[in-house]
Homo-oligomer: A and B are copies of this chain.
């Protein structure tokens, strides 16, 4: 219960004539315990993985000056943003991603941060998008970046951390598809299409969706038939990493810092025994203009059709809106909602309604203190233990325990602390009698039943 000074809420109740329908905004969600426990468990495992790599968390305000979030333009972004005037007349907006606030954060705190700065940020963002495509208006982003080092080591660390983070959440078989935006631009330069880079990238980015013929037509419209064919041939280079790299390098006019960067990243993959998770794929474009180096998307091998679950790349001027100083960085983002959908599709997202595997049944309400004292003995040994407060019929308490997702009901006798205990195994519908505390502890903290 949180106090709100002046008490608008409490004071209103007696005056109410009619009820207000309890409902939430379209595109927003409540998370009931089973789904919230699952979400937290996922976030906890992701964070634990990031921390192993020395990445540290930051947080920024949900609400910022609209000017900061939108720049001085706006365009498409503006239509989808939650923007309003606050009580002080300030033009404010809810953040629509974690990238723009991070750019502002870097510019504002650059003197206090240790570079290369490796941070993660897991937080909600808001967009007033059309909800019909299964999109939400409030959703969770999970971003991680290393800023302040334009090195192959930093590029590779993000890729390695991606691979191992998926492993940490139980997804072993992924393919991370990599490309190099700078190498592609070098190629476009060579065929005289560098000035059409942004338009061409947008077509390539949609290649998988539109299909080859539509892409060729669109590219022909942009760059003419000959260049269009060459662009398409470039994006279709395939084979082993080195083989593909040799083709792209050749198409871009021979060895370059960009092809050497890819070659070094490839060597790092071998050094860490992770090569089999990575593919060099020149059709990976990433539509965002700010990428300048490696770009990548992550596909789950069993269900590639759901699309990339983790994407990112290198950028050389993230903070340009707010500072003349250049910050080169590399990072990626996991869309938590799509990932959860993916885990459910893989049968790995089993909802769990409870942290406590055991509850203590109540036979006598005056023994509430003794039940809690017994529960404390379990809790001190690390076993979460819920206590039921009311002396309902045992069958009702068994049913409630099951509804809560517990696995065991502990049934104390007349001397809860010192006497023998009975134990109900919920799934097996079996009771065991005359157990010691230690026996019960062993059972309720043991492996899955």
Contact = CB atoms under 8 A, between A and B. Distances in A.
A143 interface: yes
Contacts of A146: 389
Nearest to A367: B271
A323 B18 CA distance: 10
A160 interface: yes
Given A5-B287, A119-B33, A355-B51, A20 B71 contact: yes
Interface string A1-25: 1111111111111011001111111
Contacts of A112: 32
Given A25-B63, A63-B138, A71-B20, A52 B384 contact: yes
Contact of A73 (B15, B61, B313): B15
A160 B4 CA distance: 24
A282 to B, nearest CB: 19
A58 B36 contact: yes
Given A32-B109, A56-B37, A151-B389, A3 B365 contact: no
- Name, among A29, A54, A375, the residue most crowded by chain B CB atoms within 10 Å (CB to CB): A54
Contacts of A281: none
B56 A354 contact: yes
A100 B3 CA distance: 11
A322 B24 CA distance: 13
A194 B53 CA distance: 62
A231 B389 CA distance: 34
Contact of A372 (B65, B268, B375, B390): B268
A116 B333 CA distance: 39
Interface residues on A, range: 35 or more
Contact of A62 (B11, B124, B368, B373): B124
A341 interface: no
- Name, among A60, A85, A112, the residue most crowded by chain B CB atoms within 10 Å (CB to CB): A60
A212 interface: no
B373 A271 contact: yes
A249 interface: no
Contacts of A52: 355-356, 379, 384-385
A379 B54 CA distance: 10
Interface string A227-267: 00000000000000000000000000000000000001001
26 contacts: A1-B315, A9-B99, A12-B73, A13-B321, A19-B324, A22-B104, A22-B108, A23-B108, A24-B104, A28-B64, A30-B58, A32-B58, A33-B58, A37-B57, A39-B59, A54-B359, A54-B384, A114-B353, A114-B400, A118-B386, A151-B365, A153-B371, A153-B372, A157-B368, A271-B372, A272-B372
A138 to B, nearest CB: 6
A152 interface: yes
Interface in A52-93: 52-65, 67-68, 70-80, 82, 84-88, 90, 92
